[in-house]
Structure 1
């Protein structure tokens, strides 16, 4: 097998040490071990530079590869390989042999590099993922508030649709004061469309509230305030980082179901440079929204979606749910068409796949989303039906003559 890289190095990365295997054409491999402190990694970098190494490869082992990558990325061509794809043969599992195996694969060009976003995109990704975790924590705390109210025989959730709106917050604060709330008090607290429900609210808000419930309720509400403040801080930081990408965000925002937050999250996951993905099929497979392909003995087995970027997949599914609620759009019509055939869950994955394909072409071509309309699928079905009927008639020996500029009438 031809050697493509003359001076390369394979790294077997662990939490506390890095085993390096230096391979030079026609020479015995050189094995060295380094620590993972910053000074040790700088020593690794200096050693590789002294040996005139041009390419380095390592496994994507948890988060342990990141410190190594941060030190070496400015001076070397680094290939990050999927651990499942470059696994060594059974019975040869040692750190030294792993490093030699990685170096040998690298020198022959047999490692498919994983996608590593630029540094500013990686920073943005950390923030968007952290914001998502904070939002999930807010949802958890709100569920705890509702749970403790139910435990105290307070049925606010049966009357108030938004327990954490202006009126809901006022009612929760009144509950914490420890007084019996009368209809007169509610007349002062309740605003808007809830005012006709004051008699029902008076029954729902007075339950069996003990000091234990008030303590937990204060803790939950305090935690919610803290989370809201932290989310605001993170969003300000995100706003600073996305300023160079405002044009891309505006273009992504033209996709039905995609708002500014979702556009930022998509940009943070896939980056702004689409040249790293050769086609829409590659990015769909990387994201985990494309159907799998499993066949044996000419039999098609399960075609469940492949494993991929779980963060991006969840973002796309949220955007797909929002797209199904839009009116007169191709994506909403596609959802209802697929739901009738495959069910709701598979239909949502199909729409998520379509949104990612649209985002890929928007980021690659720098053009806004082109809406096909809700009639596109129906008209395409009519055209396909017409072609099929014409083909069957011609196969049976008939000659089909179409009038000039004939239009296909809608089928009932």
Structure 2
């Protein structure tokens, strides 16, 4: 069969570009018509077939490949093609929708190839292989934490069935006092006096109060449920410890070729141990990896700093400006305008892990006596807590971007200085508006 003629229309930027429609069972690859008599081929999802597809693309001289982020089926295809030296573009399905009409896997692959050849597709962010491995370990650890939290609820439910009000007399069921008592109950101890004497010295409630809360109705089925929940909780804690060891090993490998930073690591801003944090000191490793102390930014502790690095990497030049970065986090206002009228400026809904954590951190920062806390409270009084939360999370993200991209050292000016600067800006604006209308403002003391 004669080869198809080259398609004309939009200017072709990537002549050696291919497109792949990813599926759970098959992958459909499309290349420029002038490179092959069969420019569209279908491959199974088995590893041998993916290798055969990679060989076919390389033999045609393909340099770059575009694919949609379909579920998690794209991951092995991405990694195999990347190992073959191909530049792989993972694009958002929202940005490459075809015009309405007939839809098939072949049409989707050809549409992706055409868009990519014309340079109309933007690559979604994916960190390098080392950072991607760190991110995978962090996400597995977060999943184990969620499962362990569910079994904490199961333990509390079993205690409630037995009318043991332990969660009312200890601040944390998984703390020193709570776990000692729960393990003793599982081992067969029923005497409330013996259980109450297991109280840690830092516990706020007295021994008598704890004893009264531990007089319960011990039924075998409820004790069995408590035993099962405790065993599962301990199992997940062991898996979390294994993840911590792997994360520490990965960080140590990342900093092997890193020179020590010029500025020494300062003292920790918060000395309290954070719940669910990794079981090793992560600050020195992150300081050597990034060259800055991210924990000096209010709201960013060692755990969040580690998660930010795992999710965003160490090279933030992928985002040209801080506005691009906050837009990727979906913390920037939306832009929906029609007919010169703003229809909506709400932020997009997202499942971005970093954005969710920053919003959570902004809640606690809003209660602090810092410039960020004053910023949150001022906006909350004017536009509401929900919008103030997003704005504060965006400001923390900007501080992180500036520290990682330009090595900025953060120094908190304090809530008082922030309020004074805000007052100066408001007064200056009032003087300017009054001058526009032919008036002049005088201080209250001068008038009297």
TM-score (ref. length: structure 1): 0.90
Whole-angstrom CA distance in 1 between matches of 2:95 and 2:183: 57
Give 1:201's aligned residue.
210
Counterpart pick for 1:129 among 99, 120, 139: 139
Give 1:56's aligned residue.
65
Question: What SS does the aligned partner of 2:197 have?
Answer: helix
Whole-angstrom CA distance in 2 between matches of 1:35 and 1:112: 27
Counterpart pick for 1:356 among 397, 405, 417: 397
Q: Unaligned regions of 5+ residues in structure 2, if any?
A: 1-9, 256-285
Give 1:255's aligned residue.
297
Q: Unaligned regions of 5+ residues in structure 1, if any?
A: none
2:311 counterpart of 1:269: yes
Give 2:234's aligned residue.
225
Whole-angstrom CA distance in 2 between matches of 1:155 and 1:27: 73
Question: What SS does the aligned partner of 1:19 have?
Answer: strand
2:333 counterpart of 1:291: yes
8 Å Cα contact 2:291/2:407 also seen in 1: no
Aligned length: 402
Give the C-alpha shift of residue 123 in structure 1: 0.8
Cα shift readout 1:182-210 (whole Å, capped 9, x = no counterpart): 43x25632231558622232222111110
Whole-angstrom CA distance in 1 between matches of 2:43 and 2:107: 16
2:385 counterpart of 1:344: yes
Whole-angstrom CA distance in 1 between matches of 2:117 and 2:192: 80
Whole-angstrom CA distance in 1 between matches of 2:204 and 2:139: 40
Whole-angstrom CA distance in 1 between matches of 2:222 and 2:46: 48
Question: What SS does the aligned partner of 1:375 have?
Answer: helix
Q: Is the alpha carbon distance of 1:26 and 1:239 closer, same or farther for their aligned partners in structure 2, counting shifts above 3 Å?
A: closer
2:46 counterpart of 1:40: no
Give 1:300's aligned residue.
342
Whole-angstrom CA distance in 1 between matches of 2:375 and 2:223: 49
Q: Please identify, of 19-28 and 289-298, the stretch whose mean Cα deviation from structure 2 is larger.
A: 19-28
Whole-angstrom CA distance in 1 between matches of 2:195 and 2:74: 59
8 Å Cα contact 1:249/1:264 also seen in 2: no
Give the C-alpha shift of residue 297 in structure 1: 4.1
Question: What SS does the aligned partner of 1:12 have?
Answer: strand
Whole-angstrom CA distance in 2 between matches of 1:294 and 1:88: 21
Give the C-alpha shift of residue 34 in structure 1: 1.5
Q: Is the alpha carbon distance of 1:371 and 1:195 closer, same or farther for their aligned partners in structure 2, counting shifts above 3 Å?
A: closer
Counterpart pick for 2:91 among 81, 84, 90: 81
CA RMSD of aligned residues (A): 2.6
8 Å Cα contact 1:174/1:181 also seen in 2: no
Whole-angstrom CA distance in 2 between matches of 1:284 and 1:297: 27
Give the C-alpha shift of residue 264 in structure 1: 0.8
2:244 counterpart of 1:235: yes
TM-score (ref. length: structure 2): 0.83
8 Å Cα contact 1:7/1:25 also seen in 2: no
Question: What SS does the aligned partner of 2:122 have?
Answer: coil
Give the C-alpha shift of residue 3 in structure 1: 1.4
Cα shift readout 1:85-142 (whole Å, capped 9, x = no counterpart): 1112222211111111111111111111211211111111111111111112222111
Counterpart pick for 1:20 among 24, 29, 43: 29
Give 2:162's aligned residue.
152
Whole-angstrom CA distance in 2 between matches of 1:136 and 1:25: 52
2:76 counterpart of 1:67: yes
Cα shift readout 1:199-249 (whole Å, capped 9, x = no counterpart): 232222111110001101111111111111111110111112223254327
Question: What SS does the aligned partner of 2:96 have?
Answer: coil
2:322 counterpart of 1:313: no
